């Protein structure tokens, strides 16, 4: 394949992601005017490594990324059937996230870029998620994006590859974190989202009444930490006198919890769309991204809220952390004439909307929004 370096030419991009607990590498091919083609999307998860600790251990994650990133890249190139010499650009997550993991990815990317003489682009992980509907559906700007994952939760108006306005976000936990804690409290497998969703499908959402935090407050900010306390109380009540939970109790607790999260996200989404209308924005769509966007019950609720405008949810593999979204976001930066040098820094905190005041919310990766 002919090597191309011009910003407006066909480009093959290597994307690398290591900001949390997935070591990911992807190869993406983009011909201007055509949909991008994902030639490989390798994710080496660390779930088994962290399972004994009930959460991600940053130091273990960083070491595993450092050990596995070159293998992920090798596998991605192998799957794509391309040598490194066919790659035009190296894109890597440069933050926000667990700093040891981000550093491991950035160092590996610098080595590859320098060794192969390729341009390097540092990508904001959140931009990777937020730009995914452009990769999957070619969505034009402006659109409303709800980012919901284990480390973040925010409503963003995406106005350009580098232009995001935050309308609101979590003031404490991220929803994925709440799913993970719920699973832990109920003795279910990690990551908690898929296990809780599976149980919820068999349960009665009305048996336990969970709070709907911050619905009484105007605006689009969210809170999820209170749900954990409510869950502990409901679980202990259900267990009282029995010494344990029945299969039915567990399913009902999951259903009640998931319904509360879905209600809150649906109502806040309705408000975010109303805020866009008030600002006179002609939205091209309402999109979700991040691991929690894999939740089917939530997708159904949000589809209803979108009303007249298209609702976009990426395929599950592109909702959770992956290298393809980083390759795409890097490509967008590169096509806009941006690139980084060997001084590219790894950043633990890197808000997408630099103009809005910092949110208090943290997540499994620490404060960053
Ligand atoms: O985006 P992601 O892969 O990593 C972060 O950047 O955080 O999201 C992972 C999070 C985890 O907390 C996981 O429990 C949650 O997404 N998740 C789900 C589902 N699948 C993954 N939450 C709810 N329902 C799901 N089906
Ligand atoms: Zn993520």
- Looking at ligand 1, which atom is closest to the CA of residue 174? 12
Q: Which residues fall within 8 angstroms of residue 263, CB to CB, at 6 or more apart?
A: 212, 215, 301
Name residues with Cβ closer than 5 Å to ligand 2, which is an ion: 149, 321
**163 versus 48: which is more confidently predicted?**
163
Using one digit for the tens of pLDDT, what is the confidence trace for 101-123? Answer: 999 999 999 999 999 999 999 99
Q: Give the distance (Å) from ligand 2 centre to CA of residue 127.
A: 10
pLDDT reported for residue 6: 62
- Looking at ligand 1, which atom is closest to the CA of residue 192? 14
Task: CATH number of the domain at 45, please.
Answer: 3.30.420.40
Using most ligand atoms within 8 A of CB, pick from 98, 129, 176 the residue to mutate for ligand 1. 176
Q: Of the candidates 309, 334, 351, which is a domain's last residue?
A: 309
For range 44-69, the mean pLDDT: 88
Are 177 and 291 in the same domain?
Answer: yes
Q: For CA atoms 306, 311, 314, 316, give the dihedral sign.
A: positive
**3 versus 247: which is more confidently predicted?**
247
Q: Give the distance (Å) from ligand 1 centre to CA of residue 126.
A: 14
d(CA 181, CA 261): 13
Are 225 and 357 in the same domain?
Answer: no
Q: Of the candidates 309, 329, 355, which is a domain's last residue?
A: 309
What band does 363 get if pLDDT is binned at 50, 70 and 90? very low
Q: Give the distance (Å) from ligand 1 centre to CA of residue 151.
A: 9
Q: Is residue 96 part of a domain?
A: yes
What φ, ψ does residue 200 adopt, rounded to 5°? -60, -35
For range 341-348, the mean pLDDT: 96
What band does 300 get if pLDDT is binned at 50, 70 and 90? very high
Q: Is residue 351 part of a domain?
A: yes
Q: Give the distance (Å) from ligand 2 centre to CA of residue 290.
A: 5
Q: Is residue 263 part of a domain?
A: yes
Are 83 and 115 in the same domain?
Answer: yes
Are 29 and 134 in the same domain?
Answer: yes
Q: Is residue 340 part of a domain?
A: yes
Are 258 and 345 in the same domain?
Answer: no
Q: Given the structure tokens 């341009």, which residue do they identify? A: 119
Q: Give the distance (Å) from ligand 1 centre to CA of residue 319.
A: 8
Q: Domain count of the chain? A: 2
Of the candidates 50, 22, 25, the residue with the CA atom closest to the CA atom of residue 38: 25
Are 196 and 256 in the same domain?
Answer: yes
Are 303 and 275 in the same domain?
Answer: yes
Are 300 and 329 in the same domain?
Answer: no
213, 219 Cβ separation under 8 angstroms: no
- Among protein residues, the one with the nearest Cα to ligand 1's atom 8 is 291
For range 190-207, the mean pLDDT: 95
Are 152 and 292 in the same domain?
Answer: yes
Are 105 and 213 in the same domain?
Answer: no
Q: Give the distance (Å) from ligand 2 centre to CA of residue 80.
A: 24
d(CA 174, CA 368): 11
| Residues found in the chain | 369
Q: Is 96 in the pocket of ligand 1 (CB under 6 A)?
A: no
Q: Is residue 211 part of a domain?
A: yes
Q: Which residues fall within 8 angstroms of residue 337, CB to CB, at 6 or more apart?
A: 7
Q: Is 20 in the pocket of ligand 1 (CB under 6 A)?
A: yes
- Does residue 273 carry a pLDDT above 70? yes
**Burial class of residue 230 in the structure, from the number of CB atoms within 10 Å of its CB (0-12 exposed, 13-18 middle, 19+ buried):** middle
- Does residue 358 carry a pLDDT above 70? no
Are 303 and 325 in the same domain?
Answer: no
The model's pTM: 0.90
Q: Is residue 1 part of a domain?
A: no
- Looking at ligand 1, which atom is closest to the CA of residue 319? 1
Q: Is residue 6 part of a domain?
A: no
48, 60 Cβ separation under 8 angstroms: no
Whole domain around residue 81: which residue ranges?
11-139+319-364
Are 135 and 153 in the same domain?
Answer: no
3, 85 Cβ separation under 8 angstroms: yes
Q: Is residue 325 part of a domain?
A: yes
């Amino acid at each position: 394949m002919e090597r191309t370096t011009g910003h407006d030419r066909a480009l093959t991009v290597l994307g690398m992601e290591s900001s949390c607990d997935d070591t990911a590498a992807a190869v993406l091919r983009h011909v201007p005017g055509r949909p991008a083609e994902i030639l490989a999307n390798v994710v080496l998860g660390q779930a088994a490594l962290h399972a004994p600790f009930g959460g991600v251990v940053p130091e273990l994650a960083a070491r595993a990324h450092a050990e596995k990133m070159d293998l992920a890249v090798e596998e991605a190139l192998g799957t794509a059937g391309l040598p490194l010499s066919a790659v035009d650009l190296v894109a890597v997550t440069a933050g926000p996230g667990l700093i040891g993991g981000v550093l491991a990815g950035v160092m590996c990317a610098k080595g590859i870029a320098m060794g192969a003489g390729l341009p390097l682009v540092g990508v904001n992980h959140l931009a990777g998620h937020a730009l995914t509907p452009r990769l999957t559906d070619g969505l034009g700007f402006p659109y409303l994006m709800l980012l919901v994952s284990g480390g973040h939760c925010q409503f963003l108006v995406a106005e350009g590859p580098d232009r995001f306005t935050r309308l609101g976000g979590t003031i404490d936990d991220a929803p994925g974190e709440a799913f993970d804690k719920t699973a832990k409290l109920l003795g279910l497998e990690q990551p908690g989202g898929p296990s809780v969703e599976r149980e919820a499908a068999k349960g009665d959402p009305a048996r336990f009444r969970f709070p709907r935090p911050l619905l009484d407050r105007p605006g689009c900010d969210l809170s999820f930490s209170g749900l954990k306390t409510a869950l502990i109380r409901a679980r202990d009540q259900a267990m009282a006198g029995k010494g344990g939970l029945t299969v039915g109790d567990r399913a009902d607790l999951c259903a009640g919890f998931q319904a509360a999260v879905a209600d809150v996200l649906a109502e806040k989404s309705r408000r975010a769309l109303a805020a866009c209308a008030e600002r006179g924005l002609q939205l091209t769509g309402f999109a979700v991204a991040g691991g929690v966007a894999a939740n089917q019950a939530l997708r159904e609720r949000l589809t209803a809220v979108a009303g007249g405008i298209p609702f976009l949810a990426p395929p599950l593999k592109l909702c959770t952390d992956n290298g393809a979204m980083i390759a795409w976001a890097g490509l967008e930066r590169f096509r806009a004439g941006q690139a980084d040098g060997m001084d590219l820094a790894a950043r633990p905190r890197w808000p997408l909307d630099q103009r809005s005041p910092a949110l208090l919310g943290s997540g499994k990766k620490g404060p960053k929004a």
